[in-house]
């Protein structure tokens, strides 16, 4: 079935790979198995009707067993279709989240949630209840038509004609179904984005007396979702109604053919029973077009997002890990921020470098560059002689630790949060927690370091979360430590703690702070305000503590 919407964008991952080939083959086998069971019914039904009283129970048992097996095959078919759909959606979901987490240029939270729910549901429905029923239903319909040809050609024509007409109706309604699916998807995405942004800004909205305005806007967007969904339901109802009518007309056609050709009642009864087997797959086909067009609408959005993930992976390169020399020098060459060329950096082991710039945006962009976050800054960053831009994240995280103000913690245990940069390590996390002043607090929790963090870091307070971020950044002492105003959230005694922590840190520390003298008394300044065409480097000599 072609894309009724015309120009479709990039494609999604291949469906028929790995175990999914086996699953699809099993679905085809299930359809052929149902056709074979229908054949058993065709053979047994006339014999039951013509059998002597003593033999009827045997044929009745065969028919009953065939009916039960038919139900069992349908159960297996249902499970296989769900496995096929879920496996495919799992691959897309992981790729989609990788795209959103890797480059930071994704859409709003609401749109991301919509993609990972509504759009992926559309993909799952198409694979599980579109491709799945076709994989099982088409062989079943074809097998039954062949079986009817052996009974009487006119019976096969009576059943095939409504099915062919149903296909014509599907073709006529496909374009409309695609358009309706796109409008529903767009309306849902806008509503999800608005809800997410409104909830995030709830305090500001209440303080500004804007609750009524926001609710009015949400009411309007929700009404659009309702209206578009109803319009889509009209098309879906026509598709499903056409399928039901096709099955009913097929049964009526059998009765008419039997009457016109004077067929035996046993043959007519047998044919009606077989056509009854086709009713379910024909009804399923009524949903195929609906699911297909919803899938095409979702694909137009999901495919480009997945392409970003693949591009990011290729950009990550395959540079070999040359090993970490600890401590190690840090070099930043050819630094551009927002189209402006600014001074680079050459820092020796043990250096403490404080950023200073014309605005916080420039400093934040440079820190994000060092941390590996998507940013307007561009440069060659080398640590221990290794180009960080040529490393995959799994290797890059060995070189750089990062902590910043306002970062949320992912869901997981405290121990996992500390080891997040180096998940393969079994080095204990307790020393890192003690170093940032969290040791006693964590040990007082019922589950200690196995306590699960939820909703951005609960049950820890905001200062405790910032200290945990700092413990993660320092875990296993990466050669480069990047701190972005993390001292603003460390709470009481946080400045003294951070000063002691950095006093004997062996690597290079680059930080943005409003109180550099309190944290790193002996430091060099990386001045980002200069915009010379041929920028100088800030040469940082070996660090000497007072």
pLDDT of residue 530: 65
Contact 509, 520 (CB under 8 A): yes
If you compute the radius of gyration of the chain from its CA atoms, what whole number of angstroms results?
Answer: 33
| Separation in Å, CA 68 to CA 75, 123, 424 | 11, 32, 51
Contact 255, 158 (CB under 8 A): no
Contact 155, 337 (CB under 8 A): no
**What is the CATH architecture assignment of 330-540?**
3-Layer(aba) Sandwich (3.40)
User: Which parts of the chain sit beneath pLDDT 70?
Assistant: 1-11, 96-118, 208, 304-327, 530-546
Between CA 439 and CA 431 the distance in angstroms is 8
Q: What are φ and ψ of residue 135, in 5° steps?
A: -65, -35
Between CA 24 and CA 134 the distance in angstroms is 10
Residue range(s) in the chain whose domain bears CATH number 1.20.1560.10: 19-316
Q: Give the angle 80-82-86 at the CA atoms, nearest 5°.
A: 120
Q: Which two tokens stand for residue 87?
A: 């496996």
Between CA 85 and CA 239 the distance in angstroms is 22
Contact 349, 542 (CB under 8 A): yes
Dihedral angle computed from the Cα positions of residues 19, 21, 25 and 27, in that order, rounded to the nearest 10 degrees: 70
pLDDT of residue 170: 87
Say whether 449 sits in a helix, a strand or coil.
helix
pLDDT of residue 432: 93
Between CA 176 and CA 4 the distance in angstroms is 8
DSSP string, 103-136: HS----HHHHHHIIIIIHHHHHHHIIIIIHHHHH
Q: Which two tokens stand for residue 248?
A: 């009913």
Q: Which two tokens stand for residue 83?
A: 């496995």
Between CA 394 and CA 272 the distance in angstroms is 63
The overall average pLDDT reported for the chain is 81
Between CA 366 and CA 381 the distance in angstroms is 11
Contact 327, 350 (CB under 8 A): yes
Contact 388, 400 (CB under 8 A): yes
| Separation in Å, CA 14 to CA 10, 21, 88, 303 | 12, 11, 9, 12
pLDDT of residue 502: 94
Nearest CA-CA partner of 122 in 243, 290, 308: 290
Q: Which two tokens stand for residue 138?
A: 């088409």
Q: Which two tokens stand for residue 447?
A: 């589950």
Between CA 194 and CA 196 the distance in angstroms is 5
Q: What is the pTM of this model?
A: 0.52
Residue range(s) in the chain whose domain bears CATH number 3.40.50.300: 330-540
> Which tens digits make up the pLDDT trace of 24-41?
899 888 888 888 887 887
Q: What are φ and ψ of residue 257, in 5° steps?
A: -65, -45
The fourth-level CATH superfamily of domain 19-316 is ABC transporter type 1, transmembrane domain (1.20.1560.10)
pLDDT of residue 325: 45
pLDDT of residue 113: 55
Contact 140, 27 (CB under 8 A): no
| Total Cβ atoms within 10 A of residue 477 | 14
Question: Cα 384 vs. chain centroid, distance in angstroms?
Answer: 36
Nearest CA-CA partner of 468 in 430, 515, 425, 427: 430
């Amino acid at each position: 079935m072609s894309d009724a919407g015309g120009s479709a964008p990039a494609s999604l991952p291949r469906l028929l790979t790995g175990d999914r080939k086996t699953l699809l083959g099993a679905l085809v086998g299930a359809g052929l198995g149902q056709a074979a069971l229908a054949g058993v019914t065709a053979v047994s039904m006339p014999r039951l009707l013509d059998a002597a009283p003593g033999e009827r129970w045997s044929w009745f048992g065969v028919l009953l067993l065939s009916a039960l097996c038919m139900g069992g095959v349908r159960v297996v078919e249902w499970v296989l279709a769900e496995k096929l759909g879920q496996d495919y959606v799992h691959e897309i979901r992981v790729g989609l989240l990788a795209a959103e987490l890797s480059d930071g240029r994704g859409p709003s939270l609401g749109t991301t949630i919509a993609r990972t729910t509504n759009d992926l549901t559309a993909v799952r429905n198409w694979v599980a209840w579109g491709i799945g029923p076709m994989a099982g239903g088409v062989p079943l319909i074809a097998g039954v038509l062949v079986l009817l040809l052996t009974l009487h050609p006119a019976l096969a024509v009576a059943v095939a004609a409504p099915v062919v007409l149903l296909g014509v109706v599907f073709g006529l309604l496909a374009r409309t179904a695609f358009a309706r699916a796109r409008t529903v998807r767009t309306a849902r995405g806008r509503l999800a984005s608005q809800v997410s942004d409104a909830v995030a800004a709830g305090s500001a909205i209440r303080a500004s007396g804007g609750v009524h305005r926001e609710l009015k806007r949400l009411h309007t967007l929700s009404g659009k979702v309702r209206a578009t969904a109803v319009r889509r339901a009209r098309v879906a109802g026509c598709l499903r109604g056409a399928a039901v009518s096709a099955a009913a007309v097929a049964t009526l056609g059998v009765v008419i053919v039997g009457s016109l050709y004077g067929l035996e009642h046993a043959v007519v009864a047998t044919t009606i029973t077989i056509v009854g087997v086709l009713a379910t797959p024909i009804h399923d086909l009524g949903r195929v077009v609906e699911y297909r067009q919803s899938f095409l609408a979702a694909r137009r959005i999901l495919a480009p997002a997945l392409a970003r993930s693949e591009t990011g992976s290729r950009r990550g390169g395959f540079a070999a890990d040359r090993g970490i020399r600890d401590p190690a020098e840090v070099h930043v060459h050819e630094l551009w921020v927002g189209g402006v060329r600014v001074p680079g950096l050459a820092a020796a082991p043990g250096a403490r470098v404080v950023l200073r710039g014309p605005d916080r945006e420039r400093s934040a962009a440079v820190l994000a560059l060092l941390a590996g976050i998507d940013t307007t800054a561009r440069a060659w960053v080398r640590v221990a002689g290794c180009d960080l831009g040529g490393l995959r994240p799994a290797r890059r995280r060995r070189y750089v630790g990062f902590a910043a103000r306002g970062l949320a913690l992912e869901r997981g245990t405290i121990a996992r949060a500390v080891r997040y940069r180096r998940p393969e390590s079994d080095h204990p996390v307790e020393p890192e927690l003690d170093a940032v002043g969290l040791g006693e607090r964590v040990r007082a929790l019922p589950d200690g370091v196995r306590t699960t963090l939820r909703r951005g870091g609960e049950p820890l307070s905001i200062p405790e979360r910032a200290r945990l971020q700092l413990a993660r950044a320092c875990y296993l002492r990466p050669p480069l430590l990047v701190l972005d105003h993390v001292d603003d959230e460390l709470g009481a005694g946080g400045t003294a703690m951070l000063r002691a922590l950095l006093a004997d840190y062996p690597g290079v520390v680059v930080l943005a702070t409003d109180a550099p003298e309190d944290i790193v008394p002996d430091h060099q300044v990386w001045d980002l305000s200069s915009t010379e065409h041929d920028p100088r480097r800030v040469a940082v000599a070996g660090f000497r503590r007072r």
